[in-house]
Structure 1
Amino acid sequence: MLPPKPFGLPMEKKIERGMVTAARGYIKPKQGMLGKEWTFDLHEGEDSYISMPVIPTVSTPEDVFGPEVIVLEFNIATQLYVRPSVLECGKGYYLYSAKTKTVTVMGTECIVTIYDLIAVYDSLSPSEWAFVGLGQEQINVKGSVLEGQMVEFGFSGFFGTSVCNPTVGYWIGKCSGYLTKEECEAANCYWWSSDGACHCAPEVVIECDNPTPHFSSGCELLLHCADNDGLINLDELNQSYSDYENGVITEEEFDFVSDAYIYGGVNVVCPGCWEAPPKKTVTFTPVPAGATVTVD
C-alpha cells in the first residue's frame, strides 16, 4: 500500500474542495521560541513532500511559498488532499512549483516528539494514511511501534525509513492485511474466506516471524506474485505493475507487492510479523474449495 500521490489519479478524485484547518488524529500544534532560518529548494515541475520546522508570523501557503506553488495537505478522515488555509506544525505538505525557486522561512519553532507521531499512528484505522512533519529536531523511530511504518519520498519514489529529519514530510500508514473476494478472484486464487484469507494455487513456503501466523495478512498474494522466496525484487515489482496495468491484479493487490518491495520482505508487511523473533515455517498448498492451509 503506497501513499497516495495527488497527481497519480484524476485530481477531482484526490482533492477536496474548500479550505480545511484541522483533521482528525493530527498532532496538536506546539510552538516554542523563535527558531532559526530554514531553506526549501523547489524545482520546476517536481513534487516536493515537506514539513514546517518553524511557522512564520504570516503563515498562509501563498505568503510563504508564493502564488505559483501548489500546496496541499492530507485529511485523515476523508483520505483526500485538501488546500490548507494556513501552514501548521506537525503536518506534511505536498508542493508542486511552476518554476525553480528557493524559499527561506523563519518563525516560531515547531515542537514534535516521537510520542506525537505514535499518537497519530494509534489514531489510524486499517488502510488509512497520515501525512506528518517534524519540528527542528531529528527523530529516530527504530525500536518503536513506528519502525517499518514511516515512508518518505525520494528521487526513486517512496521508501521506508527509521530516521526522520526536519523539513521532510513523512507518511504513516496502517496496513489492512485483508483482501476482498473480488481481489482474490482477480489473482486466480483457489478460494476466499470471510476473514480475508486468500489461498493461491502455487505451493509456497516462507519463514514467518509470527509464531501464530495471520493467514488474513495477504502473504499468499505477495508470494503468488513473486518467486516464492518471501522477498520482492525490482523485476517482480515491475512484473506486478504490468499485471496491474493489464487488469490481472487490482490496484490494492499491487499495493501489497509494493509494500513488500519498499520494506524488504513479506514479513514486515504482515501485521505483527516483526514483533516476534522465532521463525515458523508456513506452507501454503494447492487446495480445493473449502479446504484450509497447512502449517508445518
Structure 2
Amino acid sequence: MNDAPKDWFEAELQDTLDEDYEIELEDAVLSAEIRRIYRDNHPEQMDRKLYFQELLRLQSELIKLQDWVSHYKEKIVVIFEGRDSAGKGGAIKRITQRLNPRVARVVALPAPSDREKTQWYFQRYVPHLPAGGEIVLFDRSWYNRAGVERVMGFANEDEVEQFFQDVPEFERMLVRSGIRLVKYWFSVTDEEQQMRFLMRIHDPLKQWKLSPMDLQSRVRWESYTKAKEEMFERTNIPEAPWYIVPGNDKKRARLNCMSHLLGLMPYTEVPHEEIELPNRVFNPDYERDVLPRDLYVPQKY
C-alpha cells in the first residue's frame, strides 16, 4: 500500500495543530520571572491536550453553524464587550479561525471621525450589520457610549441617558428584522487585569495593545464598574440579554463562549453534494514557460 497519502494527511494535520500552537504561544518572549508570577496565579490551568481537542471539536461545530447560516440566509450579530485585556480578541480569533471570512467577519471600529460625531449615534454601526447568510462579530460595539465614552468624558450625561433610552428599541428593531443578536461581557478581576497589563508591558509582541486609554482604565476601575452595572440594568432586555463570560482563565473562557454561542443557535447539518475532484486536462502541445528567477521570493528558510 502506498503510504504517501497517509503521510500527506498527517503533515496537514500537524500543520493545523502548529497553527493553533502559534496562536497559543502568547508568553514566548516573556521573562522567566513574569512567566513564574503568571503560573503562580493560575495553578489550575486546563490540560493543553484537552483544550486543543475541545477547541477543534467546537470549531468543527462552528463550521456547521456557518453552513447553516449560508444555506438558510440567517443573520447573526455577536457583540463582545468587557474591560481591556478581558480576552475578547482571543475568543473572537478562535471563533473565526476556521470560518469563511466571506461569511463571518469581525468589525472593530476606530474612534468616530468628526463627521461621525455629528451623525445619529448608531449610524456608523448600521452599515456593518449582516445581510442574509452572514455572521458579524463586533469587537466592541455601540456600547462604547455606556462604557469608555461615559467614563472618559467623551459623552455627557444627556447623551448617555439618550443612549439608554434608545438602545433597547434599536436592538428590538434588529431582532424584529430577523437578526439573531447575542451580547457577551467578558469579566476579569482587578488583579487579573493588572497581571495582563504587566505582561503586555513586558511583551514586545503585545505592547501595541496598550493605549493611553487602556492605562486610564486601570485608574478608573471603579468608575467602569459602576458604568457596567448600570449598563446591565438598563440594557438587559428579553430580546437581547447579556451573557457574562468569566474570563480569568483564558482557555476555559474561549471554550465556554464558543459552546454557549453554539447552544443558542438552532443550527442543523446542511446536506452537501458529494465533491469529486475532476481530472486535470493535459494538452500535449502545452509547454510551461520558465519564469525569471527575480520573480520568486528568496528561499531564506
* TM-score normalised by structure 2 residue count: 0.23
- Higher-Rg structure is 2
Please state which structure has a larger fraction of its residues in strand.
1
Q: Which has the higher contact order (CA 8 A, sep 6+)?
A: 2
